[in-house]
């Protein structure tokens, strides 16, 4: 955790605010704040000031050398009537392009881009996965409660077209994209299940489904 991230977290705890409360007051996404506090997100000066203005003054929390090395002046933070999500400008995006990758979040059935997530890349990987193999899908219906996968959750998947294990997959069957547990029954058949103990799974031919990726992580909707 970098020093700025630690100061933000300490100030939030001291103010008695939850991560959700601070994110709402600062006008930023909860997931963005969690990544900032954990040190996974590189935050620019404007966003840092936006977060810290909720907690106190800029001088009380920010060491200017952490944000812009050549800018040693601090400016008072004016009270804002309202705030809106702020994203890194083009200059920061250019500098960070090599270490931060922006991924679209695709709707499970609609196929539309719903949102985006930014992740830091270390040695060409994100949490041990090669960065170009990651896919993000947002669940659009709550039909997998047995797996604690509900509407609004975001699934991280490893891209791939093969069924390499019995697991939750994102795939297409009869021109319908869906998420379900796939269990291979033989070299030619697979069971489409809504729970591990599904008593009435749909048995289909393996060559009738198109697999897009295997689920490795669930980000629960809050």
Over the stretch 139-163, which tens digit does the pLDDT of each residue have?
988 888 888 888 999 999 999 988 9
Confidence of residue 213 (pLDDT cuts 50, 70, 90): very high
Residue with tokens 């047995």, as numbered in its chain: 146
> The pTM is what?
0.54
What pLDDT does 156 receive?
A: 92
What pLDDT does 90 receive?
A: 53
pLDDT at 13 over 50: yes
Domains annotated on the chain, with CATH:
3-97 (1.10.260.40), 101-219 (2.10.109.10)
Q: Which has more confidence, 60 or 222?
A: 222
Over the stretch 163-194, which tens digit does the pLDDT of each residue have?
988 899 999 999 999 999 999 999 899 999 88
Over the stretch 83-126, which tens digit does the pLDDT of each residue have?
555 555 554 444 444 578 889 999 998 889 999 988 888 778 88
């Amino acid at each position: 955790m970098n020093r700025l991230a630690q100061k933000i977290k300490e100030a939030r705890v001291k103010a008695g605010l939850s991560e959700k409360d601070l994110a709402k007051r600062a006008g930023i996404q909860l997931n963005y704040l969690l990544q900032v506090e954990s040190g996974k997100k590189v935050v620019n000066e404007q966003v840092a000031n936006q977060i810290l203005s909720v907690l106190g003054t800029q001088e009380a929390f920010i060491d200017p050398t952490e944000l812009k090395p050549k800018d040693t002046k601090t400016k008072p933070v004016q009270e804002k009537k309202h705030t809106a999500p702020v994203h890194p400008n083009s200059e920061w995006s250019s500098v960070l392009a090599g270490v931060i990758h922006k991924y679209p979040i695709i709707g499970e059935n609609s196929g539309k881009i719903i949102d985006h997530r930014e992740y830091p890349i270390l040695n060409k990987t994100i949490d041990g996965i090669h960065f170009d193999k990651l896919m993000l899908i947002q669940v659009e219906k709550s039909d997998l409660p047995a797996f604690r996968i509900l509407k609004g959750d975001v699934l991280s998947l490893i891209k791939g077209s093969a069924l390499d294990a019995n697991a939750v997959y994102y795939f297409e069957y009869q021109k319908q994209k869906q998420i379900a547990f796939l269990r291979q029954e033989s070299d030619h058949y697979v069971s489409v299940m809504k729970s591990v103990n599904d008593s009435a799974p749909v048995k289909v031919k393996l060559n009738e489904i198109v697999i897009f990726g295997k689920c490795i992580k669930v980000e629960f909707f809050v």
